[in-house]
Amino acid sequence: MALTVALQQLQKLQIQGSPFGSTDYIQAAQVTYDNSYPNGGYPITPSAFNLQGILGMTQIGTSAAATPTLALYDRTNSTLRVYIATVTGTGQLSATQSTFAEVSVGAAFLNGVSPTFLVIGF
């Protein structure tokens, strides 16, 4: 299986005066993970977001998952890498006691987790 993408608007929004020298767009999308996280992250294609290329992505929301996740777009490898907070010490999350670690390959707890992203592309 793979992740699924549901576009959150009917039309992508055009960015005027893009610093990238091209006509760029912002697309809102909800991504739903499956239960078979691959090594290096989920492969991402621009066409899934109605784009020809992806310049970047940022997570702006998340579903009510038991384990909160944070995903980062790896532009070099065209993958979406998913991370979870790991806590040491007292079990209370704090700036000095927590780190983010990429989820393990095949992480089943991701199944059905569906964060929302803003995707910038052309």
Residue 79 has what pLDDT? Answer: 96
58-61's contacts with Cβ under 8 Å and 24+ in sequence apart are 58/117, 58/118, 59/115, 59/116, 59/117, 60/28, 60/116, 60/117, 60/118, 61/115, 61/116
Number of domains in the chain: 1
The pTM score is: 0.80
Quick check: 40 and 3 in contact, CB under 8 A?
no
CATH number of the domain encompassing residue 18 = 2.60.40
Q: What is the pLDDT of residues 34-88, one digit of tens each?
A: 999 999 999 999 999 989 999 999 999 887 666 778 899 999 999 999 998 776 5
Domain that holds residue 55: 4-121
91 pLDDT exceeds 60? no
20 pLDDT exceeds 70? no
Structure tokens at 61: 């929301």
